[in-house]
Every structure is written in C-alpha cells, then in structure tokens.
Amino acid sequence: MPRVVLIDEVGDVDAARGALSAHPDVAVERADRLPAGEDVIGLLVGTEVPVGPGELAVLPSVQIVAATATGYDHLDLGAIAAAGAWATHCPGYCDDEVAEHAIAFALDLLRGVTLLDRSVHAGRYDHLDAPGRRVSGSVLGIVGLGRIGRAVAWRAHGLGMRVLAADPLVEPGLAAPAELVELDLLLAAADVVTLHALLTAQTRGVIGAEQLALMRPDAYLVNCARSALVDHEALGEALIAGRLGGCALDVLPEEPPPPGEPALRWPRTVINPHSAWYSPESSGAPYRLAAEAVAAVLEGREPAAALARPHP
C-alpha cells in the first residue's frame, strides 16, 4: 500500500488522515525519522527534518514533500524538483497566533512583567527591578513585513505605537501602517525590534554584532521566527555586557535546549518553548493543509502553496 509519512514531533496524524480520507488506498503513518522505500509517495515534514539529495535517494517514488510549517529552509527545493516531486509549505495557518505572541513579548519586555515576577519570587518587591515603560508612543521595529509582520504592525498601531519596518521586497507605498526604513535606521530608533523574516541565505545572521551595536542599550529584541536569523553568541555578549536591554525568544539554536545552552543563563531574557504558533484553532491546521497538498497531487491537481514543481 502506498504510504504518506508524517515526521513532526507535535504532528497531528489524525488531521492528516482526515484530509486524505478520499484516498483509503493510501496509508498515513507517523514516524520519528525519515523512511525509505518505494512505497513512500508523500512526506509531511516539520522544520527539524531536512530533506535533500541524500534523503530523496532512498525514496524513488516520492511525489510530494510538504512542509508542515510556514518556513521551508529545511527543504532543498532544487533537489526535490529534480527528484520529480512537488514541494509545498503551509503559509497563513498561524499568522494571528505568532503576531499576538510577538506583541505579548513586546509588551512583557516594555512593562517588565516576567522580570518583575521573577524578582518577587526571589523575595524582592521593588518595581524598579524592571521599570516599566509606556507602550503608547514606543517605537516597534519589524524586520520582515510579510503576512505575520503586517499582522504585528496593525496590532502595534492599535496600541498607539509608532511602527517602523525593514523589508527590501516591499514597495514604500505598500507598508501601511508601518513606515518603511532601512534596517540600520530601524535598529537605531526602535524600543523593540521583532523579527518576522523567512530564513534564507540572505537573512541568516541578519542580526549580528554589528546590528546589535546599532540598538540602544535599553532596547529589546524579540524573535518568534527562526533562531538562525540572529547571531546568538553576539546576542549573549550584548546582554551580558549591558549593551542591550533584554530579549524574548520563542526559538533557540537547538530545541529543546541542552543543559549547557548559553541563553538559559543570559540576563533579562524571556524564553518560550517554540509555542508562538500554537492555539487550539491552529494546532491541526498545518497537518491538514500539508495532507491536502498530497491529496491534490494524487488527484492530478497543482497543490496550494507550491514552492517547487517536478522537473519534466
């Protein structure tokens, strides 16, 4: 029996099966690692599962590789197309959740909520341990003005924040409610910088030591996108030296973090367990959407959100 295999540590296999219910002759299975064999016709893979020439070499019948996420930097699109398969992703399924999480992080940092909570639990009771700042009138800098970046911009605008954005792919007249500026100007002006760019060769390490040095010592960094957008060694050095006010991270270089993860010891740092995408509404959506893409291919249709098509 042909197989579609889901490899995603939090993947909802029932949602995937439901989307493929019109194909009872296809088995939908969950696995902890990439499979091999001529019976595998589809892969549904999370961001921690790379798919390139080596993986495809043992999957001669694969017709589609569907990322169960918005990001797709783990997929070698050229290799997938050359293997005669489609590649897809799942844009839009958690835009609201990630935007709201980024705003929550920004408010937390500006008002000192988590740091004050830690202070009280440590036996202190002093609001100046993390003095809050007024949100209205603060400057939010958004790096990457795609769907999620725009959702963040409108929420920040509603809170009375001034919104700046840096994105070389956006036309100046199409950035509302944000003001489009160069990255260096954004970093220098922002009270909070939040990252919402896809991870590509051009954006990897887009926030490094040089960029962090442009930020004010009382500014904050928020990352709900991809860990590799930031040079974590430089970020830790800036925090420890007091050259940055703090940061909030939903993504880390290794997840879950090992005991020696430096970020766990950084000062003025809030860390969440890659949870920005989650809500009851979004939890099954990427697996359903990825499986719907498989169904489209099986039915001879072009799948939604295609990133690569089979080479003729």
Tokens of 144: 């990457």
Equal CATH topology for 3-93+281-308 and 95-271: yes
Task: Give, in order, the Cα–Cα distances in Å from 281 to each of 17, 196, 277.
Answer: 18, 21, 10
Instruction: Give pLDDT, residue 173.
Output: 87
Fold adopted by 3-93+281-308: Rossmann fold (3.40.50)
Q: pLDDT confidence of 147, banded at 50, 70, 90? A: very high
Does domain 95-271 bear CATH number 3.40.50.720? yes
Phi then psi for residue 174, to 5 deg, are -115, 25
* Neighbouring-strand partners of residue 222: 194, 248
Q: Given a cut of 80, is residue 56 above it in pLDDT?
A: yes
Q: Is the dihedral of CA 245, 192, 105, 280 positive or negative?
A: negative
- Percentage of residues of the chain with pLDDT beyond 90: 98
Instruction: Give pLDDT, residue 304.
Output: 97
Chain segment 148-205, per-residue pLDDT in tens: 999 999 999 999 999 999 999 999 889 999 999 999 999 999 999 999 999 999 999 9
Which of 279, 140, 149, 155 is CA-nearest to residue 225?
Answer: 149
- Residues belonging to the active site: 226, 255, 274
Query: Are the beta carbons of 229 and 254 closer than 8 angstroms?
Result: no
Q: Given a cut of 80, is residue 312 above it in pLDDT?
A: no
Domain ranges of the chain: 3-93+281-308, 95-271
